[in-house]
Amino acid sequence: MEPAKFNFEDLKVYQKSLNFVDMVYEITDDFPKEEVYRLSSQYIRAAISISLNIAEGSGDTDKQFNRYLQISGNSVKECVVCSTIATRRKYITEAQDKKTREKLVELSKMTSSLQKYLKNKK
């Protein structure tokens, strides 16, 4: 028997956000141990927040969902900063930062597109 499924789980932006969370966990596994309660923790929380806000806002009114998508977009920006700091501290390579940013740009575009769709859905 399959577990119950929620509508937001079918959203591509939600699925891609979960893939990004997996990526951040892998990246932060290699951070220095003293960063566990600093940058690693913040980066993981910000990445998870993208998915959480997509899930939390879905199924609500379009206006509310739009608000949660905005919060999700803010978490994308937070992840950009975390990636930049990790690169500057040499915890990740330039190539890892580039790949991270590509995923974040994709999530940002998908979130914005969904917001535009909700606004014009009259």
How many domains are there within the chain? Answer: 1
Beta carbons of 25 and 44 less than 8 angstroms apart: yes
Spatial CB neighbours of 101, under 8 Å, sequence gap ≥ 6: 80, 83
Task: Return d(Cα 32, Cα 13) in angstroms, integer.
Answer: 31
Beta carbons of 74 and 35 less than 8 angstroms apart: no
Beta carbons of 19 and 75 less than 8 angstroms apart: no
At 2, the pLDDT band (50, 70, 90 cuts) reads confident
Q: Is the confidence at residue 53, as pLDDT, over 90? A: yes
Q: Is residue 5 part of a domain?
A: no
- CATH number of domain containing 40: 1.20.1440.60
Which one is predicted more confidently, 20 or 4? 20
Q: Is residue 2 part of a domain?
A: no
Q: Is residue 3 part of a domain?
A: no
Q: Is the confidence at residue 89, as pLDDT, over 70? A: yes
Q: Is residue 98 part of a domain?
A: yes
The DSSP 8-state label assigned to residue 29 in this structure reads T
- The three-state secondary structure class of 25 is helix
Write down the mean pLDDT value for the chain: 96
Beta carbons of 28 and 71 less than 8 angstroms apart: no
Full residue range of the structural domain in which residue 23 is found = 11-119
Q: Is residue 1 part of a domain?
A: no
Q: Is residue 35 part of a domain?
A: yes
At 4, the pLDDT band (50, 70, 90 cuts) reads confident
61: tokens are: 């009114």
pLDDT tens digit sequence for 19-36: 999 999 999 999 999 999
- What's the pLDDT score for residue 97? 98
At 122, the pLDDT band (50, 70, 90 cuts) reads low
Q: Is residue 4 part of a domain?
A: no
